[in-house]
Amino acid sequence: MDQLATFLDDVRRHVALSGHFRGLLHLLIGRRIVAPDGTVISTGQTWRSVAALLKKVRWNKDAVSEVGLEPAELPPRDRERYWYTAITRALVDSEEARRSADHIAAALRARGYLISGGPAEKV
């Protein structure tokens, strides 16, 4: 989980994520991520582990508005439940999510990361 937290920090600092939150979720849940040094960061995560990760790294809760949700409509006190609810409603398996994840993956390739093309594709 620490490698994923470091990865998300790198993404937050170096990738333009505006409008691509759904793609980020798609990438974390369904793709294999390999660091520039060859270390496997993730082979895909469960929704629950992604929710815990977003809570851990204190991801901006307003990001849910990018997937058509109002932050005030989600559980305000339990941040992990907040993120889990957002993930369940974000349509992370949609074509839009895949295209958005491809955009993020291209930006990360420039930083040396290897990202698979989807759940069935190997890096």
Residue 118, pLDDT score: 64
Average per-residue pLDDT in the chain? 90
Distant-in-sequence contacts of 53-57, Cβ < 8 A, 24+ apart: 53/1, 53/4, 53/5, 53/8, 53/28, 54/79, 54/83, 55/79, 55/80, 55/82, 55/83, 56/1, 56/5, 57/5, 57/8, 57/9, 57/12
Q: The whole model's pTM is what? A: 0.90
Burial of 72 (0-12, 13-18, 19+ CB in 10 A): exposed
Helix (H) or strand (E) holding 12: helix 2-14
Is-contact 99 23, C-beta < 8 A?
A: yes
Residues 92-103 have pLDDT tens digits of 999 999 999 999
Give domain limits for the chain: 2-115
Residue 64, pLDDT score: 94
Residues 7-53 have pLDDT tens digits of 999 888 888 888 899 999 999 999 999 999 999 999 999 999 999 99
